[in-house]
Structure 1
Amino acid sequence: MTTTRRILVLTALAATMFLGSGAAAQASFTESAKVTATPMSIATGTVSAPAAGSGSLTCGRTSATMGLTWTKSTSARISGYRVTVHFSDGYTQTVDKAATDTSWSQGITLYNVTAYAVRYTVSTVTDYGWTAESASTGWFQC
């Protein structure tokens, strides 16, 4: 008797699942947004490079001193300047300076400026990531 009851319950459950699954589910979604057109203008900004002034190389008995002066850039939002030393073998060295600086000097071993010539450039660095590099100075060598 229990086997018959089990078969009847199982058949009833199967019939309920089969007949009950015939109804399709439905859903719908709507969303809207109001967009107002406003006039827009896009401008292309430029960054002015600082004017590289005089570069220098003072040679001593065992060391030398490199130096550069420049005129500040007229661009807005300047965050600093980047001095680049270009060696004649292709190597470059950079030094970051403050936005208020207009000169730089640094000592170097004498060998580096007797074996190689150096020249300098200075770049404007802005707080929005744009830069502009000055013209290069002439070459210096001890």
Structure 2
Amino acid sequence: MTTTRRALALLTLTLAVLVTATLPANAAFDDRAPAVTATVGTITVQPPNQVEAKGLCTTTTDPATGAVTTTVQAKIEWWRSTSPGVTGYVVTAHLNNGASYVMARTDATADEVFDSADASHLQYQPRFTITTLTSYGWTAVSVRSGVLTC
């Protein structure tokens, strides 16, 4: 093929591309589908209620040393959440100095926990919340209990 023929072929192809690029596309789609109706349900996780903190103080004296020790036995109880999918509860102690700590983790059937500590901890006026844990990752926190006293 000669140079002239190559140039003429290249020019023809270039013109063909330019002309066809300016033409509008002519495609039609007529596949129809019915609209999908979606419903989204919501659920509210119910926190436990009727949270109570009860304390029983016991004082003992060591006969050998005469040292007096007072211990508080704490019972934290609540009414379980009525929400579906509850997997357990977290009991958190809140102190009057702003500190808080997890006191216990339970399964879904629990409605009370017990703990004991030196009675000097009562100076921090501990109050307790119960957090509902669910299988779908949502939680709910109860109102705080009254102050634990003996």
- What TM-score range do you get, normalising by the shorter chain? 0.5 to 0.7
Q: Match of 1:53, SS?
A: strand
Structure 1 stretches of 5 or more lacking a match? Answer: none
TM-score (norm 1): 0.66
C-alpha contact (below 8 Å) 1:50/1:123 kept by paired residues? no
Deviates further, 53-62 or 90-99? 53-62
Question: How far apart in 1 are the matches of 2:45 and 2:81?
Answer: 11
Contact 2:72 2:119 in 1 (8 A): no
**Structure-2 residue corresponding to 1:20:** 16
- Is 1:123–1:134's contact at 8 Å kept on the other side of the alignment? no
Partner of 2:63: none
- Alignment equivalent of 1:104, drawn from 110, 113, 136: 113
Instruction: Note closer, same or farther for the CA distance 1:58–1:126 as it changes in structure 2 (3 Å cut).
Output: farther
**Which runs of no fewer than 5 residues in structure 2 stay unpaired?**
60-68
Root-mean-square deviation (CA, aligned residues, Å) is 3.7
**Alignment partner of 1:23: what SS?**
helix
Distance in 1 (alpha carbons) for counterparts of 2:28 and 2:58: 79
State, as a whole percentage, how many aligned pairs show the same letter: 19
Aligned residues: 135
Contact 1:82/1:125, CA 8 A, preserved across alignment: yes
Tell me which residue corresponds to 1:137. 146
TM-score normalised per structure 2: 0.63
1:71 aligns with 2:79: yes
Aligned match of 1:51 = 50
Comparing 83-92 with 115-124, which one deviates more in the overlay? 115-124
Once the two structures are TM-superposed, the CA of residue 80 in structure 1 deviates from its matched residue by 1.5
Q: Does the 8 Å contact 1:51/1:135 carry over to 2? A: no
Deviation of 1:136 after TM superposition, in Å, equals 1.6
Mapped pair 1:86 → 2:85: no
Is 1:120 equivalent to 2:120 in the alignment?
no
Q: 1:27 to 1:140 in 2, by over 3 A?
A: farther
